[in-house]
């Protein structure tokens, strides 16, 4: 197989994803709070991928301003990620529609049928996260236009099943809509493997943290470059009475302190010094503002260093275009090598 033939094969493998997203490469940028803002999102889209803006806890006014900044930097397609638990979700959806955002990604919970319909009637394509085959089928029934399956290798809030298992569980059975795979993807060979078993494209977050266009603090980027895959660990829950949502991040002083803090709060509760609900809230609020401290302020010891296990493949600061081209070249080379040997 020649390189030209490998390129043609890759084009065939992710054509459905490319056509759905409207971009050159079916590579989505994961929506990372504080990191996936207008500069990085525009750079991903301008590089031929599909940037996704992380709304996070933004107000509707702030989201509108951020979309305006993004549109000023690119005329390529992009998406906006909305968190289902946001108290102003409907208003945020209206902002996306008013700004004629083509794709909206709904994350952080099972979307209501009314939310999906509201966005679709307004002209947006709706993408949803599917953690199980049952929910994937349900979301297709709710008229989601595409699905994203993300394994526990990803950074930030995660589930309990690996990407490879989710892909085997879901890809053979969902054909009505495009399915994009995410979690722990850092090289083109992995991208190819998921495309060949039915994915329409892939989503990557951690690889883009150290892009030159990323506004993440230099200390944050250095922590990523120094880290290996085993440094990205999940948060520990000490007692089921005090639930902790699993988060994958680089181990640091703050993550170690979190374990100690849980023990202290639990001991206070056991001594009847604090009510259960208040104890739960104290543990829940431990990380308040921690991501901002790390990403924006550069406090990599007391902040949260959310990172996927693919962090071990982040070796240097590169332009976004270079990262995307490297991933595409690796995918093409993997195809070429497979045919030759």
Let me know whether 201 and 147 are in one domain. Answer: yes
| Per-residue pLDDT tens over the stretch 154-183 | 999 999 999 999 999 999 999 999 999 999
Let me know whether 281 and 186 are in one domain. Answer: no
* C-alpha to C-alpha distances, 186 to 34, 128, 153, 332, nearest whole angstrom: 21, 22, 11, 15
Let me know whether 200 and 288 are in one domain. Answer: no
Let me know whether 159 and 66 are in one domain. Answer: yes
Let me know whether 172 and 210 are in one domain. Answer: yes
Let me know whether 302 and 323 are in one domain. Answer: no
Let me know whether 206 and 236 are in one domain. Answer: no
Q: Tell me the whole-structure pTM to 2 decimals.
A: 0.95
Let me know whether 238 and 275 are in one domain. Answer: yes
Mean of per-residue pLDDT scores for the chain? 96
Let me know whether 143 and 290 are in one domain. Answer: no
Phi, psi of 245 (to 5 degrees): -70, 125
Supply the CATH number for residue 43's domain: 3.20.20.70
Is residue 223, in this structure, part of any structural domain at all?
no
Let me know whether 208 and 191 are in one domain. Answer: yes
| Per-residue pLDDT tens over the stretch 199-255 | 999 999 999 999 999 999 999 999 999 999 999 999 999 999 999 989 999 999 999
Which runs of consecutive H residues, i.e. helices, occur in 204-245? Answer: 218-226
Is residue 89, in this structure, part of any structural domain at all?
yes
Let me know whether 270 and 319 are in one domain. Answer: no
Contact 335, 1 (CB under 8 A): yes
Is residue 221, in this structure, part of any structural domain at all?
no
Closest CA to 204 of 55, 324, 101: 324
Q: Cα–Cα distance between 103 and 193 in angstroms, integer?
A: 26
| Domain region containing 150 | 3-216+314-340
How many domains does one find in the chain? 2
Is residue 99, in this structure, part of any structural domain at all?
yes
Is residue 293, in this structure, part of any structural domain at all?
yes
Is residue 189, in this structure, part of any structural domain at all?
yes
Let me know whether 19 and 89 are in one domain. Answer: yes
Question: How many CB atoms are located within 10 Å of the residue 21 CB?
Answer: 30
Is residue 332, in this structure, part of any structural domain at all?
yes
> Which stretches of the chain drop beneath a pLDDT of 50?
341
Specify the DSSP element, H or E, that contains 182. Answer: strand 179-182
């Amino acid at each position: 197989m020649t390189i030209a033939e490998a390129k043609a094969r890759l084009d065939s493998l992710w054509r459905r994803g490319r056509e759905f997203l409207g971009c050159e490469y079916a590579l989505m940028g994961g929506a990372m709070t504080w990191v996936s803002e207008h500069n990085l999102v525009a750079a991903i889209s301008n590089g031929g991928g599909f940037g996704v803006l992380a709304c996070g806890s933004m107000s509707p006014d702030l989201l509108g301003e951020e979309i305006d900044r993004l549109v000023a930097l690119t005329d390529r397609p992009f998406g906006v990620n909305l968190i289902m638990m946001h108290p102003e979700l409907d208003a945020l959806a209206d902002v996306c529609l008013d700004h004629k955002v083509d794709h909206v990604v709904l994350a952080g919970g099972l979307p209501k049928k009314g939310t999906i319909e509201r966005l679709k009637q307004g002209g947006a394509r709706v993408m949803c996260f599917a953690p199980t085959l049952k929910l994937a089928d349900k979301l297709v029934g709710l008229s989601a236009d595409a699905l994203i399956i993300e394994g526990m290798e990803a950074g930030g809030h995660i589930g309990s099943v690996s990407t490879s298992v989710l892909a085997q569980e879901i890809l053979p059975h969902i054909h009505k809509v495009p399915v994009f795979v995410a979690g722990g993807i850092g090289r083109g060979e992995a991208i190819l493997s998921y495309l060949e078993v039915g994915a329409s494209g892939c989503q990557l977050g951690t690889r883009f943290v150290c892009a030159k266009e990323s506004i993440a603090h230099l200390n944050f980027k250095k922590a990523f470059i120094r880290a290996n895959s085993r440094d990205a660990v999940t948060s520990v829950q000490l007692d089921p009475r005090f639930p902790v949502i699993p988060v994958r991040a680089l181990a640091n002083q703050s993550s170690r302190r979190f374990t100690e803090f849980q023990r202290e709060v639990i001991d206070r509760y056991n001594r009847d010094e604090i009510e259960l609900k208040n104890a739960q809230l104290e543990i829940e609020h431990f990380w308040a503002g921690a991501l901002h401290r790390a990403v924006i302020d550069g406090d990599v010891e007391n902040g949260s260093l959310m990172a996927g296990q693919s962090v071990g493949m982040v070796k240097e600061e590169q332009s976004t275009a270079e990262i995307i081209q490297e991933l595409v070249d690796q995918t093409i080379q993997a195809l070429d090598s497979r045919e030759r040997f």
